[in-house]
Chains A and B, each alone.
Chain A
Amino acid sequence: MASNFEPRIVVFACNWCSYAGMDLAGTSRMLYPANLRVVRLMCSGRLEPEHILYAFKAGADGVLVTGCHPGDCHYISGNYKTRKRIRLLEQLLAQFGLEKERLRLEWISASEGEIFTRVAKEFTEKIRALGPSSLKQEKMFAPLISARAAGGGGD
């Protein structure tokens, strides 16, 4: 694997707990990798599986979904929906041939800036070890085209 590979990670954070937890990490001057791009949502339940697929298609090497701890959801049950969706999505991604470690779900409360920085570091190192996502479209289609150049290519 190329040693200069820097993972691109998309983080989805709920407004009430996880984003506040990340804010706490920032205001407390805690250090975490710059590989994360955070998208704030009102609730992790707002996150549609489509958004996760879109992030992977757009070139994300990993996706981290964060929400309030069970029982703490600002909207009562959004995080329970998210948990079920992520567990089912893991099965689907495995069928698509993507390593399931590239998608991670974590509960982070507003006071857990430290936990966020630990998760961020761990996850970034995990993705760095896995290497670039093979879902990047040019990687997925290009070698197949050259292999079948005789007929004008598969795509």
Chain B
Amino acid sequence: MGKPRVAIVLGSTCAGCDYSLLDLGPTVLDVLANVELVYWPTGADFKLSDLESVPDGSVDLTLYEGAITNSDNEELAKLVRRKSKAVIAYGSCACFGGIPGLANVSIADDIMKTAYIGTWSTDNKRSILPQPLSKVDSKHLVLPVTYDTIRALDQVIPVEYYMPGCPPPLSYIEQALVAALSGKLPPPGHVFASERSLCDECKRTKEKKNLTAIKRFHEIIPDSQRCLLEQGILCMGPATRGGCKAPCVDNNIPCRGCMGPTPEALDQGAKMLSALASILALDQETGVSEDRLIPLIQQLKDPLGTFYRFGLPKSMFRRVIPRR
């Protein structure tokens, strides 16, 4: 048996997942020496034809980064599915849509108009928008079509494994690569992350949950020992899968939920909403009137953007109702 054949492909991504691979340090050299890279355009000079030319089903493991935001991403996803024995949805975007998935609050036309016409720094007097097909002289120029609804990878092709995180934690990258090198990949459906919530691995002191005010991050300097949520800062920990070992909360930054919903949850945002509402004005909930409750709730400026920052395409509704 030869070396395992590995491909690393990019959908709609910032390529931060690529950097996470480099975080392996010198280990990356060992990995590269023990695998046969079929395709990794950010790592070396690969062309799409390199991937197209290998036989179907001949790639042992593909890491797909990024969401599906346009026809190009979709074609690439379908191509790697054909070529690969196993595909990992690598990073939050591939797992649940990630930050690009927030585009599901809008539709493609509106996003294009804002990006190419509406922004202050744009000089576009003729209001030219990118077109899927344009004719210049006698030539046809083709651009990918941007979709109205952004999708996660498994909403386009079947996926064997998931490795959430923005970017995925180093320990799980190592675990997956070691498993692939030794030919001992876990059964399909495996998620390379913890089975418990982030709070389980957070080292802060948790005493009494009773929120009398929701504070925005610039309003206080949080105590570095106490639970952030108890201090009024919205931390997504209770509704978020662990495994990252809580580097953000260790640095006094609240969890934003990049590891996605906990294993049994159907909807990360609804779970967080439930947890947050339960502890609002808890010590006086019997007496709290609607007049007091509503302003307290309205201190949370953007529930949708906060609860679904990384997971809107995989949420229950998947997108905001488009206005027509």
Tell yes or no: B149 within 8 A of A by CB.
Answer: yes
Assembly CA distance A85 to B282 (angstroms): 12
The digit string for A138-155, where 1 denotes a CB below 8 A from any CB of B, is 001101100110111111
Query: Are B266 and A143 interface neighbours, CB within 8 A?
Result: no
Query: Is B177 an interface position by the 8 A CB rule?
Result: no
Contact assessment for A143 and B324 in the assembled complex, using a CB-CB cutoff below 8 Å: yes
Structural contact, A155 and B151, CB atoms closer than 8 A: yes
Residue contact B300 to A88, C-beta cutoff 8 Å: yes
Q: A84-B297, A85-B273 are in contact. List 12 more A-B contacts (CB 8 A).
A: A49-B270, A49-B274, A50-B271, A53-B267, A57-B316, A57-B317, A89-B277, A143-B324, A144-B107, A148-B145, A154-B147, A154-B148
- The answer to whether A48 touches B145, judged by C-beta atoms less than 8 angstroms apart, is no
> What chain A residues lie within 8 Å of B119 (beta carbons)?
none
Quick one: given A88-B303, A96-B317, A135-B317, are A70 and B286 in contact (CB under 8 Å)? yes
> B274 and A48: CB pair below 8 A?
yes
Bound-state Cα–Cα, A155 to B146, Å: 11
Q: Which residues in chain A, 107-155, are within 8 Å of chain B measured between CB atoms?
A: 134-135, 137, 140-141, 143-144, 147-148, 150-155
Partner of A151, one of B70, B265, B273: B70
Q: Evaluate contact between A88 and B277: CB separation under 8 angstroms.
A: yes
Q: Which of A14-22, A25-33, A36-44, A75-83 contacts B (4 or more CB under 8 A)?
A: A75-83
Residue B42 lies at the interface, judged by CB distance under 8 Å to chain A: no
**B222 at the A/B interface (Cβ < 8 Å)?**
no
- In the complex, the answer to whether B304 meets A96 with C-beta atoms within 8 Å is yes
Complex contacts, B290 vs chain A, CB 8 Å: 87
A77 in contact with B316 (CB, 8 Å): no
The proximity string for B residues 304-324 relative to A, scoring 1 for CB distances below 8 Å and 0 otherwise, is 100100000000111111111
Cα distance A25–B316 when bound, in Å?
A: 34
In terms of DSSP, what is the predominant structure of the interface of chain A? Answer: helix
A5 CB–B CB distance under 8 Å: no
Asked if B298 lies at the interface with its beta carbon under 8 angstroms from chain A, I say yes
Within 8 A of A (CB), among B103-149: 105, 107-108, 132-133, 144-145, 147-149
A152 to B74, CA, bound (A): 9
Q: Are the CB atoms of B320 and A95 closer together than 8 Å?
A: yes
Q: List the B side residues contacting A92 at CB < 8 Å.
A: 269, 273, 303-304, 307
Whole-angstrom distance between the alpha carbons of A87 and B290 in the complex?
A: 9
Q: Using Cβ atoms and an 8 Å threshold, which residues of chain A touch B319?
A: 140
Interchain nearest-CB distance for A69 vs B (Å): 12
Interface size class for chain B? 35 or more
What are some 22 contacts across the A-B interface (CB < 8 A)? Answer: A49-B277, A50-B267, A50-B316, A57-B317, A71-B286, A77-B286, A81-B285, A89-B273, A89-B277, A92-B269, A95-B302, A96-B317, A96-B320, A96-B321, A97-B320, A97-B323, A98-B321, A143-B324, A144-B107, A148-B145, A150-B145, A151-B144
A91 touches B298 (CB 8 A): yes
Max chain B C-beta neighbours (<10 A), residue from A89, A150, A155: A155
Contacts A70-B286, A152-B71 known; A88 to B273 CB distance under 8 Å?
yes
Chain A residues with CB under 8 A of B71:
151-152
Complex contact B285–A84 (CB within 8 A): yes
Kindly state whether residue B24 has any CB partner on chain A within 8 Å.
no
Which 3 residue pairs of A and B lie closest in terms of their CB atoms, listed nearest first?
A: A151-B145, A97-B321, A154-B147
Contact: B149 with A141, CB < 8 Å? yes
- Are B297's CB and A88's CB within 8 A? yes
Structural contact, B278 and A81, CB atoms closer than 8 A: yes
CA distance in complex: A155, B133 (Å): 21
In the bound complex, residues from chain B placing their C-beta under 8 Å from that of A87 are 277, 290, 293-294, 297
Which residue of chain B lies nearest to A84 when distances are taken between CB atoms in the complex? B277
Residue of A50, A140, A150 near B321 (CB, 8 A) is A140
A residues 49-105 near B (Cβ < 8 Å) are 49-50, 52-54, 56-57, 70-71, 77, 80-81, 83-85, 87-89, 91-92, 95-98
